[in-house]
Amino acid sequence: MQKYEEKSPLIRTNKSSFSIFSFFNSLLFKPSLSYSERSIHLSGRTLPSKFVPNVVCNQKYSLITFIPKVLFDQFSNFFNFFYLIVALFQLIPELRTGPLFTYIAPLLLVLSITIGKEAIDDFKRYKRDKEFNNKKYRKITRNGIQEIRSSDIKVGDLIEINTNDRIPADILFLRTNDPTGTVFVRTDQLDGETDWKVKRALGITQHLETLDDIFSLEIIANIEGPKKDIYVFNGTIQYYEQNITSSFNPDDSGSFFNSQISVGNLSAANLEKNISEYGAGTAIQPVVEPLMLDNTIWANSVLTCGKIYGLVIYTGIESRSLMNTCTKSLRTKVGLLDNQVNTLSKILFLLLIITSFVLVFCKGFDTLWYVSFARFMLLLSSIIPISLRVNLEMAKIVFSSQINNDKNMKSVTVRSSIPEELGRIDYLLTDKTGTLTQNYMIVQTLHIGHAIFHQENFSEIVDALQYVQKGRVNIEKEERIIIDTMDNIPTFPIISSNPTIWNNSNNTLHLQNFMLGIALCHNIFPRSSIDANLSNENRNNSAEDILDNNLGSDECMVDLNQKHIVYQSSSPDEIALINFAASLGLRLVSRSNENMDLDLEKLYLGDHLRNSMESGLYKNEKN
């Protein structure tokens, strides 16, 4: 019998080490990127074994580098550098033109204000970072659930994320409590887009019988090295197919979300048994499948609904979020006003040189004419007013405090060094609706065939769908009309109080197909309001609210005694359309990857039918 040899690299466990050198290095410098590919076992073992810590650090300075960096930034400004040279010249007795205090005190005042302002800003960043780093998350292990801080999360950890939680690190989406295997996340803090993104769990882990079975799976995720691009991801998962007993077929997307998986243990003792079952000389070949971008959730995204479990693949400054916003590579931001003052200071300095040279020329060039030139420079140095710098720094502090204390704006000043730049804005340019607005949409007008409906006469659509020209549709309680395909949709010739529009059966068919198309052709997922937690209340308005505004009638009001449904989608346009359909009586109540359920109870419960009809339900099934 051929001896089985493991061809994939061995995976080591995470180890930590401490040294005096690493301690001081962490104080002086931020951790460096590894840019290394990685192999991660679902049990937490990784190769390589060490990665950067999952610490959010947006501070510009450390305790050791604060004073040197602030002074370097300040004296990089020509205005401050000029007065530093003037103050140093006063230390030379031959060049002293007055009390040393009169030159040093203004400079120290400017530096004190600037250093204090930078210290306050950096302390605020420290507090925000500390809040993020100390947030508690639940880590799933073989021995149970542990509560750990965000800063203690490591590559290879299996963590639990709940509704409205911030994703603490880049994760591989393994499992969710939603049977469809999909969730929505908000990424406005990552890419600035307000549209929600749909994420899909790995099929092989989503449909395990229990969460504990994850630790029995011999699955290895091979992940590329960290990069900045949030729209590109490359990776594979590797597992042994004979070790998984399941109706799950990776090539059969139709049964992807309906399978149950049971696992065995691919231990060394079982290898010989598996080899003997497959025949002598046959090595066990792992199945390798690609990972998609939809299988990942980047750090700083927010889960909108449900509960998910994810495998940490990037942490700290190797996460997509921090790689795009890391302050290490950002230069110090300087406002346009500071640049203008700096330029004017250079012009005044040139004027100062010319004036001093003219005065020396008038006095006459003697042996020590350069001493006289330097003294004239010092005497006339007030032509560059240092009080201007003091006033500017004080004004910035006042501007920042007023912005923070304005209850109507509800804004927070992140950088107090450039608040005056807001006063220079003349035009606001935006690429799309939603950047500067709430992106809230409602249906106002419909054009169906030759008929046009506005909000005030949407009730005519309901009337047209409620009346049947040839008989009534008798629907028993909880009976379902099955629609296998759109070609088999039953047609109900209908009439309305407006015979000029609805006396033609073609118009009736167009109306039915139009409304069913709106109700069925979309990518919306209905959620219970308890699960959704109304995380985006303005965006996911319920059908009851739209109904009250559009119809002004109680005939088609959705039953409030039923479970409240909140619709979630990556498109606000779809949200508006499905809410409109629900307000007219075609209410989406549930959805899976194989079927969609429409509650038509209100459509067939007008006053004239209320006593004879209980409920109606469409079910759209995919073959």
**Catalytic residue IDs:** 431
Beta bridge partners of 171: 297, 312
| Single-letter residue type at 448 | I
Going from the C-alpha of 11 to that of each of 39, 141, 219, 234, 291, the distances in angstroms are 7, 18, 12, 20, 20
Whole-angstrom Cα distance, residue 302 to residue 306? 11
Beta bridge partners of 320: none
Beta bridge partners of 481: 618
Give residue for tokens 């509960």.
307
For residue 407, how many other CB atoms are within 10 A of its CB?
A: 5
Q: Is the peptide bond before 48 cis (omega within 30 degrees of 0)?
A: yes
Q: Among residues 454, 464, 567, which one has the least CA distance to residue 515?
A: 464
Query: H or E element: which one contains 343?
Result: helix 336-363
Whole-angstrom Cα distance, residue 539 to residue 543? 12
| Single-letter residue type at 318 | E
Whole-angstrom Cα distance, residue 534 to residue 527? 10
- 179: tokens are 């049977």
User: Helix and strand tally (H, E) in the chain?
Assistant: 17, 24
Label the pairing between strands 617-621 and 182-186.
unpaired
Measured in degrees and rounded to the nearest 5, phi and psi for residue 147 equal -95, 125
Measured in degrees and rounded to the nearest 5, phi and psi for residue 588 equal -75, 120
Nearest-5° Cα angle at 176, 174 to 178: 145
For residue 617, how many other CB atoms are within 10 A of its CB?
A: 18
Rg (C-alpha) for the chain, rounded Å, is: 35
Residues 6+ apart with CB under 8 A from 558: 542, 543, 544, 547, 582, 583, 587, 602
